[in-house]
């Protein structure tokens, strides 16, 4: 078997983050981790040393992959930055953009006469943008974009604003997919080009993405 990523260290994030509101409630999202875990397995199969930072998911760790479990966006940020340096970072996790300003120490109770609850949310650190700007920046930084419409416009916006080398965009939403399912279609964009991977199983799409990454990685 050829091992195009032999001697390379690949850092992958996968899954959702959970942002606690109180001891029994959190803000989460529909990411299952399947896409990111498939990428980690594909990179390992191509010879890379792989570190997988995983949000709360119910998936087995791919053989030969070092896994670091996290819960919140803040923990994902610390684990990803703490795992640098790497040759490649692939950010497939659905990291929360906002987190409650305060976590209530006690279960929030319904109050008589009040029909609404206002939660104040604050922005989380953008892990991907921070990795791309880091002094130990990987040679290739690959982002994901989960979009419900105008996929290319939003994905190219993220490619430029977060200073990425590649971005893999997928349509998400009740009807389209991306989240949870076993199959996916990725629209991959870079400065001077683009390609489509899939529709196919997440394992096949992940293999094609990792092959593209291996081809674009500087020698």
Residue 29 annotated among the catalytic residues of the structure: yes
Out of 12, 18, 33, 210, point to the residue binding ligand PMT (CB under 6 A). Answer: 33
Based on the shown chain and the rule CB under 6 A, indicate whether residue 9 belongs to the binding site for ligand PMT: no
Helices 34-45 & 202-216 angle (0-180, nearest 10):
50
Question: Can you name the residues that pair with 53 across neighbouring β-strands?
Answer: 13, 68
The Cβ of residue 186 has, within 10 Å, a number of other Cβ atoms equal to 26
* Nearest distance in Å: CB 112, ligand PMT: 37
Q: What angle do CA 35, 41, 44 make, to 5 degrees?
A: 140
Q: Interface with ligand PMT by CB under 6 A: which range of 62-70, 93-101, 107-115, 211-219?
A: 93-101
Sign of the C-alpha dihedral computed for residues 75, 77, 80 and 82 taken in this order: negative
Instruction: Closer to ligand PMT by CB, 26 or 31: give it.
Output: 31
Tell me which residues in 200-219 interact with ligand PMT (CB under 6 A).
Answer: none
Based on the shown chain and the rule CB under 6 A, indicate whether residue 94 belongs to the binding site for ligand PMT: yes
Q: Which of 142, 36, 40 is nearest to 88 (CA)?
A: 142
Q: Of these residues, 9, 13, 26, 29, which one is catalytic? A: 29
Binding site for ligand PMT (CB under 6 A): 15, 31-35, 73, 91-95, 97, 124, 126-128, 143-146, 158, 170, 172, 178-180
């Amino acid at each position: 078997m050829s091992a195009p990523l032999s001697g390379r260290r690949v850092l992958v994030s996968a899954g959702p983050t959970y942002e606690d509101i109180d001891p029994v409630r959190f803000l989460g999202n529909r990411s299952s981790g399947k896409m990111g875990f498939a990428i980690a397995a594909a990179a390992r199969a191509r010879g890379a040393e792989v570190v997988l930072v995983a949000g709360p998911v119910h998936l087995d760790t791919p053989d030969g992959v070092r896994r670091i479990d996290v819960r919140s966006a803040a923990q994902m940020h610390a684990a990803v930055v703490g795992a640098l340096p790497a040759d490649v970072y692939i950010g497939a996790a659905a990291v929360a953009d906002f987190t409650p300003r305060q976590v209530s120490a006690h279960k929030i109770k319904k109050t008589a006469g009040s029909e609404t609850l206002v939660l104040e949310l604050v922005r989380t650190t953008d892990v991907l943008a921070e990795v791309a700007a880091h002094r130990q920046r990987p040679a290739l930084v690959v982002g994901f974009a989960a979009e419900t419409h105008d996929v290319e416009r939003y994905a190219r916006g993220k490619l430029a604003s977060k200073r990425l080398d590649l971005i893999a965009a997928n349509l998400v939403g009740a009807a389209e997919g991306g989240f949870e399912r076993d199959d996916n279609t990725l629209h991959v964009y870079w400065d001077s080009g683009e390609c489509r991977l899939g529709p196919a199983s997440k394992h096949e799409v992940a293999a094609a993405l990792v092959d593209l990454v291996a081809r674009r990685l500087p020698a």
